[in-house]
Amino acid sequence: MSANTPAASTAESTVVPVIFAVALGHFLNDLMQSLIPAAYPLLKENLALSFTQIGLITFVFQGTASILQPVVGLYTDRRPLPYALAAGMASTGAGLILLAHAQSFAIVLVSVALIGFGSAIFHPEASRIARLAAGMRPGFAQSVFQVGGNAGSAVGPLAAAFIVLQRGQVSIEWFAGVALAGMLVLYAVGRWYVAAGAQRALARKSRAREATPLAPSVVRLGMVVLIILMMSKFIYSVSLSSYYTFYLIDRFGLTKSEANLCLFVFLAAVAAGTIIGGPIGDRIGRRRVILWSILGILPLTLALPWLPLVPNVLAAALAGLILASAFPAMVVYAQDLMPQNTGMVAGLMFGVAFGIAAFGAAALGVLADAWGINAVYHICAFLPLLGLAAFLLPDARH
């Protein structure tokens, strides 16, 4: 099929309503998921958990999603399952209800595994549909999609501060209503795919087959460097998303609600940074955005452990904003390397991200138990040095 045929031209148009609908689904999905770390202080107190057990909760949640996302992405590249998005929301809602009534550490692990399973279904298929609806603006679509998730993650601590921490663990089940709303939104997205998206997918696959493929050595180098850079980004990110509230309580004597408000500031900055990375990458290239965003936060991370409260929160927020601009560029960069497998690549990128976060959270929990929560931030301050590896990224623009 020629690139000038009507089907190919249609595949190049940007379907903004679908992109925003998928982003709304991402907002609702990640709002529910962010209740897990936001409720950590409450769970730690109610169930007498150690930092190591807190790390294991994150490990199970992130690890479940990490293992399954590439598998889901690979499968849906070959056999799309647009209505599976709604099923993923149902799994997340069931996990929240179980978590609300968990009276043991084991039940907490089962509940977060269900939430991780819902995430594993949602992210690769939703990212694939966002890329499909993007046309010639993949960076824009990926940023909008991801900023929906980051906005949901930012709202989670507020919901925890004003609802869960005030009314207790059982109030977590109220957010199952959010899952129901998400199921309705994503069902509509599935209907669009059945009506129009499948034809766009065929046209895009035809164009991808006609394009000159990159050399396998270039693809391998690009993916290896991306994984190194993701280690820097996501281990530092999880140090803040999972343990920043404990750090603020320990060092500055804040209440749990006050610490969650500070976490909201950080996560809101992350949401703002996400919307920046994709469109800028469309204009100046993904490689430049990735290099600047990961290596550029080094002065902030080195200073953060020594700053008083307000500058500390501001430094964490600015670091989060800069760091968050990298991931949309990373996902689109990886999809540019392998344009015929965008769902698998999205699943791989999200899966690796969740996996790194899972192992990082578990390791940081052990470290916090052994050496104290302050030591976590002194050690993690040097992680952005891994950003030097971005100089090795090949230019994948074509």
Write down the pLDDT at residue 209.
52
Q: What's the CA gap between 267 and 329, in Å, rounded?
A: 19
CB 327 within 8 A of CB 234: no
Amino acid at 285: G
The maximal CA–CA distance of the chain, rounded, in angstroms, is: 65
Q: Is pTM beyond 0.75 here?
A: no
398 domain residue, yes or no: no
Q: Scanning the structure block, which residue is given the tokens 């999905």?
A: 29
1 domain residue, yes or no: no
319 domain residue, yes or no: yes
Number of Cβ atoms within 10 Å of the Cβ of 234: 25
Write down the pLDDT at residue 397.
53
Write down the pLDDT at residue 94.
93
341 domain residue, yes or no: yes
Rounded to the nearest 5 degrees, what angle is found at the Cα of 87, between the Cα atoms of 358 and 83? 120
Write down the pLDDT at residue 98.
94
% helix / strand / coil in the chain, to the nearest 5?
Answer: 85, 0, 15
Q: What's the CA gap between 217 and 199, in Å, rounded?
A: 32
**Tell me, what CATH number does 366's domain have?**
1.20.1250.20
Write down the pLDDT at residue 229.
87
User: Structural domain tally of the chain?
Assistant: 1
352 domain residue, yes or no: yes
45 domain residue, yes or no: yes
218 domain residue, yes or no: yes
Rounded to the nearest 5 degrees, what angle is found at the Cα of 153, between the Cα atoms of 134 and 194? 35
List phi, psi (to 5°) of 135: 65, -125
213's torsion region: left (phi>0), alpha (psi -120 to 50) or beta?
beta
CB 201 within 8 A of CB 78: no
Per-residue confidence in pLDDT tens, the chain, 398 aa:
334 444 444 556 777 888 899 999 999 998 898 888 878 888 888 888 888 898 889 888 877 877 777 777 777 767 777 788 888 899 999 999 999 998 999 999 999 999 989 988 888 788 778 877 777 777 778 778 877 887 887 787 788 778 887 888 888 989 989 999 999 999 988 888 777 655 555 555 555 555 566 778 788 888 888 888 888 888 998 888 888 999 999 999 998 888 988 988 998 888 788 777 667 766 777 778 888 888 888 899 999 999 999 999 999 999 988 888 887 778 778 877 877 776 677 777 777 777 787 788 888 988 989 998 899 999 999 988 888 888 888 865 54
The token duo for 125 is 């298929």
Domain range enclosing 64: 6-392
210 domain residue, yes or no: yes
